Amino acid sequence: MTYKLSEITKELNLTFSGNDIEIDGIHTLSEATSRQLS
């Protein structure tokens, strides 16, 4: 399952601007890829 970054920021009541990406996981900072939050 993936979520758009804009959807995540909307749920957190944050302002989003820029290019939207699909997030497919959550990892530690050292293990996260460009498609994962850390």
In angstroms, the Cα distances linking 1 to 18, 26, 27, 36, 38 are: 22, 12, 15, 12, 17
pLDDT at 13: 97
Q: Contact, 22 vs 3, CB < 8 A? A: yes
pLDDT at 7: 94
Domain hosting residue 28, numbered range:
3-37
Average pLDDT score, the chain: 88
How many independent structural domains does the chain possess?
Answer: 1
**Distance (Å, rounded) from C-alpha 12 to C-alpha 3?**
13
3-state secondary structure of 22: strand
φ, ψ for residue 35, nearest 5 deg: -105, 15
Considering the entire predicted model, what is its pTM? 0.65
pLDDT at 20: 94
pLDDT at 35: 77
pLDDT at 11: 94
Give the pLDDT means over successive 10-residue stretches in the chain (38 positions). Answer: 92 95 84 78
